[in-house]
Amino acid sequence: MRAGRDRDASVALVRRYRATIEYDGTDFAGFQWQPQVRTVQGEIEAALQRLTGAEVKVVGAGRTDAGVHALGQVVSFSAATGIPVERMAAAMNSVLPADVRVVRAGETDEGFNARFSARSRSYVYVMLNRAEPSALLRRYVCHVRGALDAQAMADAAGRLVGEMDFAAWANSLGEVRTTVRRVFRCAVRRRGAWVLLFVEASGFLHGMVRNIAGTLMQVGSGKRRPEEMEAITASRDRRMAGPTAPAHGLCLVRVSYTDAGGTPALVEE
Amino acid sequence: MRAGRDRDASVALVRRYRATIEYDGTDFAGFQWQPQVRTVQGEIEAALQRLTGAEVKVVGAGRTDAGVHALGQVVSFSAATGIPVERMAAAMNSVLPADVRVVRAGETDEGFNARFSARSRSYVYVMLNRAEPSALLRRYVCHVRGALDAQAMADAAGRLVGEMDFAAWANSLGEVRTTVRRVFRCAVRRRGAWVLLFVEASGFLHGMVRNIAGTLMQVGSGKRRPEEMEAITASRDRRMAGPTAPAHGLCLVRVSYTDAGGTPALVEE
């Protein structure tokens, strides 16, 4: 049996890999594999199948939605290949489409799981706050025409830091065990026409960053006061928070592990 | 005669406009109008025709090549329209494709010509210097795999500042009166994985920034010494300089006039 022999022959070379992935989410139905649509996980698994001749299951640290980008997604997988570890990133890039890139790849220990070993995920939500939209960065920023009060947004954002029940900030609870998450950082900074929201947490509920961004935009435009944040959280009621901000302004910038790896080269705060 | 009456009726409202334009050059055959292909000038003129019902001739400060981007291109035109001046940018954006945006538009004096009134043009050439390319910014940066010595590049770049005959740096001389240009600034800076080349000059010969970028990349990778710059310039021979760097790394960021206008909001050095 051909397939069986191939699998046996490669057993000796099976390695556990960890890779940092950058992608332009514009033309993807999200990170996670789904039938019939283009997903980041699907493209990475197809690339690994081409390189190894076998089916490879990839686990990602963050299951980003359709349209959401990543500079520092982290994936783990086990694969059997004769490609030297230091050539793995280049080899994967040689068979991946241009909107997914392996920034770096290396061998990791057997127990490493990109999702379950992660200590925190960091996202940035990018708003361009000027009269007219951007042509060059139209795929990566959310245009906000009316003036945003970044100071008020920063005040509101700070009220979401801590270990809390974030049920009010989730679009769907799905199969989560608990809606308690620890937010390590939630900060807003203005730099010229740019308003940036940085959120780092132990984990995120579905739509959480975009719901925070949409609510903070309401604060920034004077529709809500920063003091309302606590009441929204306490309500555990999704209807109390603001609208979900558009996906294309969101980017997964970093996943942190206890070894402090995974920092992408493109981001500088 | 309908057309004649329309033209007469609008004479009283003819205004001279100056507009700052941002565009993603990826899907354009360059700024300047050419038959049968998509150009930035062509799109802006088509938008103005839709808004005014008349043919409008647009002049741009820099005639960027196919694939070259702009954050701060400046155009001038005369048009007759009932649209209030402060609504002109939004009106133009409502009929322009998403990869061309009017950042701002205003009335200017009759004698203003975006091209001939310009005091200087500033370009940035963006290199991403790391092992693997970028997915997110693949349309806007030139990927350079091998380590670049930005210090040597900066040394070489500084040797191009001043009023000199830049014939050696031009791909074609076309119909230019003189190949003497004044370079106000030519500087290279590294920021993490990014290497940025900033060039500001009274004007540029065809391909000049990209030829400088291509030559500086040779300096950065040790193929040339910074001291060779003066000899290249003195030769007035295109074959002495390095290759033309790819168009997609180049962006026209600012056009300066004596009134110091035209600075785009997206760029911060």
Q: pLDDT for A75-99, tens place per residue?
A: 999 999 999 999 999 999 999 999 9
The catalytic residue among B65, B99, B149, B259 is B65
In chain A, whose CA is at the least distance from the CA of B266? A193
- Model confidence at B267: pLDDT above 70: no
CA-based nearest distance B162→chain A, Å? 31
Residue of B101, B104, B133 with shortest CB distance to A135? B101
Residue A45 sits at the chain B interface (C-beta within 8 Å):
no
What CA–CA distance (Å, rounded) separates B58 from B19?
10
Q: CB–CB of A99 and B138 under 8 A? A: yes
pLDDT by residue (tens digit) across A162-206?
999 999 999 988 778 899 999 999 999 999 999 999 999 999 999
Q: What is the pTM of this model?
A: 0.88
Question: Any CB–CB contact under 8 A between B69 and chain A?
Answer: yes
Using CA atoms, how far apart are residues B165 and B158, in angstroms rounded to an integer? 16
CB contact under 8 A, B193 and A266: yes
DSSP class of residue B13 equals: G
Which residues, other chains included, contact B25 with Cβ-Cβ below 8 Å and sequence gap of 6+?
Answer: B40, B64, B66, B67, B68, B69, B70, B247, B248
A44, A132, A138, A250: best to mutate for the B interface, most B CBs within 10 A: A132
Angstrom distance (rounded) from CA B269 to CA B257: 19
> Shortest Cα distance from A217 to chain B (angstroms)?
20
Contact B139, A99 (CB under 8 A): no
Asked whether the predicted pLDDT for residue B5 surpasses 60, the reply is: no
Q: Where are the beta strands (DSSP E) in chain A?
A: 14-23, 59-60, 69-80, 100-107, 120-128, 142-143, 162-165, 180-191, 194-201, 250-256
Q: Is A38 on the interface with B (CB under 8 A)?
A: no
**Distance in angstroms (rounded) separating the CA atoms of residues A185 and A160:** 8
Chain A residues 185-244 with a CB less than 8 Å from chain B: 191-193
User: A135 at the B interface (CB within 8 A)?
Assistant: yes
Query: HSE (CB half, 13 Å, CA atoms) of A57?
Result: 1
The arithmetic mean of pLDDT across residues A212-241, rounded, is 98
Alpha-carbon dihedral angle through residues B87, B89, B93, B99, given to the nearest 10 degrees = -170
Q: Single out the residue of A267, A259, A261 nearest to residue A104, CA to CA.
A: A261
A90 to B132: CB separation less than 8 angstroms, yes or no: yes
Q: How far apart are CA A49 and CA A43, in angstroms?
A: 10
Chain B CB contacts of A102 under 8 Å are: 132
Confidence of residue A259 (pLDDT cuts 50, 70, 90): low
Nearest CA in chain A to B20: A132
Say which amino acid occupies A128. Answer: L
Dihedral angle computed from the Cα positions of residues A108, A112, A117 and A119, in that order, rounded to the nearest 10 degrees = -10
CA distance A125 to A128: 10
Q: Using the beta-carbon criterion (under 8 Å), do A135 and B266 form an inter-chain contact? A: no
Query: Which pLDDT score, from 0 to 100, does residue A224 have?
Result: 98
In whole angstroms, what is the distance from residue A216 CA to residue A152 CA? 9
Answer yes or no: are the C-beta atoms of A137 and A206 closer than 8 Å.
no
Q: How far apart are the first and last CA of chain A?
A: 54
**ipTM (interface pTM):** 0.84
Please list the alpha-helical segments (H only) found in B35-128: 40-52, 88-95
pLDDT for position B4: 44
Count of CB pairs separated by less than 8 Å, A with B: 90
Q: Which of A132, A135, A268 sits opposite B23 (nearest CB)?
A: A135
CA distances from A123 to A183, A196, A197, A254, B8 (A): 12, 10, 8, 7, 57
Mind listing the pLDDT tens digit for each residue in A109-121? 999 999 999 999 9
Q: Which residue of A has its CA nearest to B25?
A: A136
User: Integer distance in angstroms from the first to the last C-alpha of chain B?
Assistant: 54
Tell me if chain A has a CB within 8 Å of the CB of B248: no
- Evaluate the CA torsion angle A13, A14, A17, A23 in order and state its sign: positive
